[in-house]
Amino acid sequence: MTAAWVGSRLGVRLADGARPVGAGLSALVGLAVRRNPKRAHLLVSAVLGKHVPTDPRLVYGSGLLLGELVRARLRGEDPCDPGPLLPDALQVVPGAAAALRDRMRAPQVPVDAIVLGYAETATALGHSVADALGGAYYLHSTRRPVEGFATYGGFEEEHSHATSHLLLPADAEALDRDVPVVLVDDELSTGRTVLNTIQALHTVRPRSHYVLAALVDLRDAADRARMDDLAVHLGTRIDAVALAGGHVELPDGVLEAGKALVAGIPSQAPDDGGPRFAVSRAALEWPAGLPDGGRHGFLPEHRAWLEKDLARMGEALADGLEGASRVLVLGFEELMYAPLRLAEALADALPHVDVFYSTTTRSPVLAVDDPGYAIRTRLTFPSHDDPADGPGERYAYNVAPGVGQRGFDRIVLVVDDAGDTSALAAGLLERLRALAPVLVAPIPSYRGRL
């Protein structure tokens, strides 16, 4: 990943810290500039698959690796040693991403836990952590109220552009157990979000052990002391694990400097000219009754069910991609895990095709087509799932090629039925089909009980 452009203009620097799995902070993240009045910079992950199209086996393998750190902490054991596989995969050594995934999905002793992932960025990451634990119940927060599901709790993400989070479990009793609770986010900046969550959860149902899990941990000594103080106050144990530690060096006045920088760079104008490629649809035959993700909860038996059908669904996608050489599987906002696993299955089904994975997002980020910047291009389109907070812009980053970059010759768009609307056809699909033929793979949004 790269931080050179932001560093030269805003003076923001990444400083490496702990490297428990062999990769440092600067290898795991790059820097971009937010279009957000609350924070100037954005950490752009090399292993999350949100803003940067990434080998899905690297994304899933990294999530499983984080889950292994959690599993080892809960069991009081040394974690499984991945060797140099993560650094090699980050360096795009051939076969390293698949080897990391395969190494980390080897069976381990299952651990009973509740895993909570944060929308929208960490929904698949949290799910991957739960997969690594084997016996965990998984739930992610959501910004989409769903009729028939009562709110269990909520919390505020203080630096976010959209702060309302909901917990909507189909079975609230699954959360009312004194088993370890693992809170998963892509980064721990100050830790305030997860500590707010712990306080809210502990008020409803006290637990004896919480674990914070993130790809990178940027907290300073005061932030860590705040976590320890909360543990004492609540009479509980709170641990934290991450793939890498370090901190972001922020000069004085960086927020105002970031605002001025954003204001001085014009937004990318939509390129609506040129030919349009075909749009087709895949018949995935998603198993009836299988949740599409963790919005309302995901049980260990659902994992076994999904694993049984993944290869078949990967082959169904492959059948619609004849002649492809470079494919992007694009997910949809909170719907990250199902597209990730489908992309992984597709990569296994088409070993001679370069398969990448990323998702659309609500997060507004400055795009600059420069090799030293992490977000080269941006597609802008209207929301298409009738969001509760009203319509608004949505984004897909690094899908269109930047100058000197190779584009995708096929795009697979995985969307749930709530987002498979006329607004999708008129908005995002029009932007995508200006780039490459698009294969739409719809998934039923789960609405029943677990």
CATH number at residue 434: 3.40.50
- In this structure, the number of other CB atoms found within 10 A of the CB of residue 22 comes to 17
For residue 274, what pLDDT is reported?
79
Domain co-membership, 188 together with 232:
yes
**pLDDT (average), residues 125-140:** 96
C-alpha to C-alpha distance for 6 and 371, rounded to whole angstroms: 12
pLDDT digits (tens, 9 = 90+) for 378-395: 999 999 998 877 789 999
| Residue 387 neighbours by CB distance under 10 Å | 18
Rounded CA separation 385/285 (Å): 22
- Domain end residue (candidates: 230, 249, 268): 249
pLDDT at 157 over 50: no
pLDDT at residue 163, as a whole number: 46
Please check whether residues 316 and 363 belong to one and the same domain: yes
> What is the rounded average pLDDT of the residues 130-153?
86
pLDDT grade for 156, boundaries at 50, 70 and 90: very low
Any idea what the CATH number is for the domain that residue 230 is in?
Answer: 3.40.50.2020
Over range 363-367, report the average pLDDT: 90
Q: Are residues 62 and 160 in the same domain?
A: yes
Give the count of alpha carbons within 13 A of 395, CB side only: 20
Question: How far is it, in rounded angstroms, from Cα 160 to Cα 192?
Answer: 12
- The predicted model scores a pTM of 0.94
Q: Of 319, 333, 320, whose CA–CA distance to 387 is shortest? A: 333
Residues 339 and 380 in one domain: yes
Do 217 and 283 lie in one domain? The reply is no
Give the pLDDT confidence score for residue 267 in this predicted structure. 67
In a domain, 103, yes or no: yes
- 44 within some domain: no
> Are 244 and 330 contained in the same domain?
no
Question: Which band of pLDDT confidence, cut at 50, 70 and 90, is reported for residue 160?
Answer: very low
With a CB cutoff of 8 Å and minimum separation 6, the contacts of 380 are: 267, 268, 270, 393, 394, 395, 431
CB atoms inside a 10 Å sphere around CB 361:
20
24-41: pLDDT as tens digits: 999 999 999 887 767 778
Range of the domain at 334: 279-443
Res 4: pLDDT: 87
pLDDT of residue 106: 85
287 and 397 co-located in one domain: yes
Residue 42 lies in a domain: no
Q: Do 316 and 411 have their domain in common?
A: yes
Considering the domain architecture, whether residues 289 and 425 belong to the same structural domain is answered as yes
Whether 204 and 68 share a structural domain: yes
Tell me which of 249, 268, 301 is where a domain ends. 249
First to last CA, the chain: 40
Q: How confident is the model at residue 113 (pLDDT cuts 50, 70, 90)?
A: very high
Q: Which residue has the higher pLDDT, 313 or 261?
A: 313
Does any domain span residue 73?
yes
Q: How many structural domains are present in the chain?
A: 2
Q: Are residues 311 and 415 in the same domain?
A: yes
Calculate the average pLDDT of the chain. 91
Does 254 reside within a domain? no
Whether pLDDT at 423 is above 90: yes
Determine the Cα–Cα distance for residues 365 and 368; give it in Å rounded to an integer: 10
pLDDT at 320 over 50: yes
Q: State mean pLDDT over 398-418.
A: 95
Three-state SS for the chain is CCCHHHHHHHCCEEEECCCCCCCCHHHHEEEEEECCCCCCEEEEECCCCCCCCECHHHHHHHHHHHHHHHHHHHHCCCCCCCCCHHHHHHCCCCCHHHHHHHHHCCCCCCECCEEEECCCCCHHHHHHHHHHHECCEEEECECCCCCCCCCCEEEECCCCCCCEEEECCCCHHHCCCCCCEEEEEEEECCCHHHHHHHHHHHHHCCCCEEEEEEEEECCCHHHHHHHHHHHHHHCCEEEEEEEEEEEEECCCCHHHHHHHHHHCCCCCCCCCCCCCCCEEECCCCCCCCCCCCCCCCECHHHHHHHHHHHHHHHHHHHHCCCCCCEEEEEEECCECHHHHHHHHHHHHHCCCCEEEEEECECCCECCCCCCCCCCCCEEEEECCCCCCCCCCEEEEECCCCCCCCCCCCEEEEEEECCCCCHHHHHCHHHHHCCCCCEEEEEECCCCCCC
CA distance 10 to 255: 9
pLDDT for the residue numbered 173: 86
Q: Do 129 and 231 reside in the same domain of the chain? A: yes
